[in-house]
Amino acid sequence: MNVLKLAVKNIIKNPLNLLMSTILFGLGVGLISFLLLFNTQLREKFDKNLADIDLVVGAKGSPLQMILCNMYHIDNPTGNISVKDAAPLLRDGHPLIKKAIPLSLGDNYKSYRIVGTNYDFMSLYDGQLSSGKLWENDLEVVIGSTVAAETGLKLGDTFESSHGLISDDHVHEDVVFVVTGIIYGTGSVLDQLILTNTSSIWKVHAHHEDHEDHDADEHHHHDHDHHHDNSNAHLLHHADEQITSVLIQFKNKTNFQALNFGRNINENTDLQAASPAIEINRLYSMIGIGADILRGLALLIAAVSALFVFIMMFKSMRERKYELAIMRVLGARRAKLFLLIITEGVLLALIGLIIGLILGHAGMEIVSKYLKEDFRYVFSGLRWLPEEGFIVIASLILGVIAAIIPAIQAARTDINKTLTRK
């Protein structure tokens, strides 16, 4: 009958108290662990998807919406811009711009977005083909790993897209995409996208909006089908067509002109430029208030549960003073009784901690299902973060703190006074 075994028996003896204190403690820990998981993974997603993009240029509207739409693919576009307007950015040899990547959104397959762009887009996210080859002709697509896994599309499979960015019944029936390549999982937004060239998007919409022009249009695009899709030169031939945005990387980020580039666009053109870093920081600070309140609440719950454990143990000392005195008679040192009560406190904290971590991770796993359905973002409740080590340590310390006064009380047990008091 060592101290640990005795402590276990003692805390099991009162199941109601055990349940109350551990569940309360578990709720606090669970909320903290959930917030930690959620925040960390959200930031990771956002940071990974920043992809070193310095500026997004699109149609005027909410800059945050434009960033969310064009970089994170979780919001609707602010509108379209004409190639003509974007031409100065797309042209090769711009003194400030290292890369300008056009994006055309507007269609989806089973709510996975089809993005018309060029090969550079993949390299933003270090995307590598796991099988197949890059698109060469119109209506050929390369799909992200999540798309492949969730839709079951394989190399050579064909599919019809739906109009808009979320799945609906309106299918572009005449236009059939074919899968030519699949990209390795990158953990970035690339995994949930279907990539093709810009003219494929135009083609789909030409079908949709302009059925009569079909033949001419087809022919028209065909001229450029075999362009190597790494330069924007061919886009510039279609000045009247529209794209959604242009992602820009500067040659030198700290260049004075580069820093003013966005403001110049906003003030002098019909386009809108926004810096992802600034917009995302704005978003963090908006979410941050809510997260802070939740975190405060979680800490409060944990503190209340520790207080509950303290009161419970403090009260039980009065009932247990006789058995503590008897243990002293039987040869238990004061230190042993101290250790016994501390062990009980730590055990309660430990059980609460385990309940909490399970709650936090299960909660994250459940929420991640919704996030996946709504945003196609993959979060995981099965990941363990190094910061959770701090939660473990803090919980155990809290257990010791809650038990320390009762433990001192137990160690001070006076056998004679306790046993002679009638």
Of the listed pieces 5-13, 36-44, 192-200, 241-249, which binds another protein according to CB under 8 A? 5-13
Candidates 100-108, 164-172, 284-292, 315-323; binding stretch for another protein (CB under 8 A): 315-323
Site for another protein in 401-420 (CB under 8 A): 415-416, 419-420
**CA dihedral sign of residues 387, 388, 393, 394:** positive
Dist CA 247 CA 187 (whole Å): 20
Is 9 one of the binding residues for another protein (CB under 8 A)? yes
Q: Tokens 């010791």 belong to which residue?
A: 400
Residue 251 in tokens: 């040659």
Residues 6+ apart with CB under 8 A from 183: 122, 127, 128, 129, 130, 142, 143, 144, 145, 190, 191, 195
Residue 218: closest CA among 84, 210, 230: 210
Task: Name the minimum Å distance from CB 3 to another protein.
Answer: 9
Which residue type occupies 218?
E
Out of 13, 98, 154, 412, the only residue in the binding site for another protein (CB under 8 A) is 13
Is 10 a residue that touches another protein (CB under 8 A)?
A: yes
- What does residue 210 show for φ and ψ, rounded to 5 degrees? -140, 60
Distance CA 168, CA 91 (A): 36
Name the minimum Å distance from CB 323 to another protein: 5
**Number of residues this chain uses to bind another protein (CB under 8 A):** 26
What is the Cα–Cα distance from 11 to 66, expressed in whole angstroms? 56
Q: Which is nearer to another protein, 304 or 408 (CB)?
A: 408
Nearer to another protein, 1 or 16 (CB): 1
Q: State the DSSP H helix or E strand holding residue 103, giving kind and residue range, or none if neither.
A: strand 97-109
- Contact segment (CB under 8 A) with another protein among 1-9, 98-106, 118-126, 399-407 equals 1-9
**Site pattern 317..336 for another protein (x: CB under 8 A):** ---x-xx-xxxxxxxxxxxx
Q: For another protein, which is the closer residue by CB, 15 or 386?
A: 15
By CB under 8 A, tell whether 285 contacts another protein: no
Binding site for another protein (CB under 8 A): 1-2, 6, 9-10, 12-13, 320, 322-323, 325-336, 415-416, 419-420
